[in-house]
Chain A
Amino acid sequence: MTFPNSSLYAANLLAGWAAGATDIDLDGASRLKIALYTDSMVQDPTGGTALGYSATGELSGTGYTATGKVLGGTVTWAVNSGLLVCSTSAVTDWTGATFSNVYGCVIYDDSATSPVADACIVAVKFGSVGSSGGGTFTIDWADTPVTNTIFTIDPTP
C-alpha cells in the first residue's frame, strides 16, 4: 500500500482512553518516537486493529536510524477554542540526512506493551514526497492553532 492518509490509530487510542486498559503514554515525549516511512508503509490507521511500530516500509538512508528518533521536548494536549490540540515543543529533524522517497511519519509509544507493543498513535502524511541531500531533514509542524501542532481534534459529536 502507499502511505495512508493522515489519521489517528483509533484502536490504540480507544484503549488508551479507557482507564487501566493500556499503558500508552500520550504525552510521554521521552518515550514517544517518530519514524519516517516511504510509500511502502503498511500500518493503516483506519484498519480498526491495534498496530505497533513496524519496520516495513520504514525509511532507510544515511543519517536515519531504524525505529526513528525520540520526539523529545514536551508533548501537550490542550483545549484551544474548543478544540483538543496535540502539539510538541521540539522541532523534529535529522541532520546529515540523505533521505529519499519520504511520504510521512508515524508517532508511536516506544514503551507501550498494550494493547500492542510500541503502539502507534498517529500517522501523518506529508503534503509532498520529501528528500534531502546530506543536509537537515525537518518536519515543520503546523503553526496553528498553536506552534508545532501535530493534530487538532474537534470533539463536538
Chain B
Amino acid sequence: MTTDTAFKEKLRSISFGAPRRPQTKIVDGVKHVELLDESSGRRAGMESHKPDGTWDCTMTPEVVRLPLNKES
C-alpha cells in the first residue's frame, strides 16, 4: 500500500472551491470579463480591464470533490 493510498483511506473526500454566479459588467469604465471553466462552464475567474490598458485578474480554485475512500 502506498503512502498516498493509506492517507486516502482515512478520509472520505477533499473539496476545493465553490460554485460562483456568473458576472459580466462594466463599472466606471472597467470591463469585467468572466473566465469560465471549459469543462464545467462555471466561473473560474475574472479579468478587469481598466481604461489605462492594465488589467487585474481574479482566479478561483477549480470546484472539485475528490472521493478518497475505497467505497467512493
Contacts and interface: CB of A to CB of B under 8 A. Distances in A.
Interface of A: 5-8, 10-11, 13-14, 46-49, 97, 99, 102, 104, 124-128, 130-144, 149-157
B16 A142 contact: yes
A156 B12 contact: yes
B57 A132 contact: yes
Given A10-B8, A128-B44, A140-B58, 8 more contacts: A5-B66, A10-B3, A127-B62, A130-B35, A135-B55, A142-B18, A151-B15, A157-B9
B11 A132 contact: no
A11 B3 contact: yes
A132 B9 CA distance: 40
B23 to A, nearest CB: 12
Interface in B54-72: 54-64, 66, 69
Q: For the complex, would chain B's binding face be called helix, strand, loop or mixed by DSSP majority?
A: mixed
Contacts of A143: 18, 20
B59 A139 contact: yes
Chain B interface extent, by class: 35 or more
Interface string B31-61: 0000111101011110111100111111111
A135 B56 contact: yes
B45 A126 contact: yes
20 contacts: A5-B66, A6-B17, A7-B14, A7-B66, A14-B6, A48-B3, A99-B57, A125-B64, A126-B45, A126-B62, A127-B36, A127-B40, A127-B45, A127-B63, A130-B59, A132-B57, A135-B48, A144-B18, A155-B11, A157-B10
